[in-house]
Amino acid sequence: MKKVLLVYNPVSGTGKSVLFLDEAVAHFQSRNMLLIPIRTPYREETLQELLGGVDLVLAAGGDGTVHRVVNSLMQHGAQPPLGVIPLGTVNDIAENLGFSPQRFDLEMINPESLSLVDVGKVAGRYFANVASAGLLADIAYKVDQRLKNNLGKLAYYMQGVAEIPNFRGVEARFVADGRTVFRGDMLLFLVLNGCGAGGFNGLMPKAKMDDGTFDCLVFKKCALTDFINLVIKAVSGKHLNDPNVLYFRARSLEVAAPPEVATDLDGEQGPPLPWQVEVLPGRLKVLTPRK
């Protein structure tokens, strides 16, 4: 009998992962598969012990839940494939893999439909989709969980408005694949593995999670009105040609900026700057949707 490890976050989104449990147990039981649930937060040692004896790992929650599971998998020798169940407020990683929260169904989970995707590494930690720092980078983990459960993505936008008093640039330097690409004042930067982050699905329309390269954005210091304009453009994917945005691709990246700047990895608080970021091509085995 195959074993499936389900890591779920009981407070993700509206807390619907708890209601989802029984449905998941019935689904896999009917397929002669044993479902082993473990809730977050968990002891890393406990998960590592379980990983050695399962055929598949499912992360049910938002990007933060997936981030923690990815880090556990990357530290484990024999890596079972990962499936992502989009139950969070924001589900960028799931959407980048083709699992839409609005149209998700357990029938889409096909243990035979596998792909290899890249993983980012910075300061001994891993990220599946995004590493960022600067203005708005800490919104995902600063928003009150009750607000996220009640208001959904609106809670993030409200927190963004609350960050306006902190609007200021910081001096930074970016070295991509050994070449300096930017030196000056910036507001925010993002290193992306997929097409979108923070609910903005069109940030990098041509990005792929399996091309061995990061797509990088630097939002240069500008007036507040110009930055708000940029955010509006980003909603419709029209930001890349704006003079206040620098876009480049890289396999490795050095980021020099003050250590007090807020950082983020997949919606979780990231390590302090400066950073050395590298891409690990094809290091994560993931499930893709059943067609």
HSE, side-chain direction, 13 A CA sphere, residue 28: 23
Q: Which two tokens stand for residue 21?
A: 């449990």
Query: How far is 45 from 48, CA to CA, in rounded Å?
Result: 5
HSE, side-chain direction, 13 A CA sphere, residue 231: 16
Contacts of 231 (CB under 8 A, 6+ apart): none
Q: Which two tokens stand for residue 110?
A: 């096909």
Q: Are 211 and 178 in contact (CB under 8 A)?
A: no
Phi, psi of 135 (to 5 degrees): -55, 130
Phi, psi of 121 (to 5 degrees): -135, 135
- For Cα atoms 3, 6, 9, give the angle at the middle one, nearest 5 degrees: 170
Active centre residues (catalytic):
268
Query: How far is 166 from 262, CA to CA, in rounded Å?
Result: 11
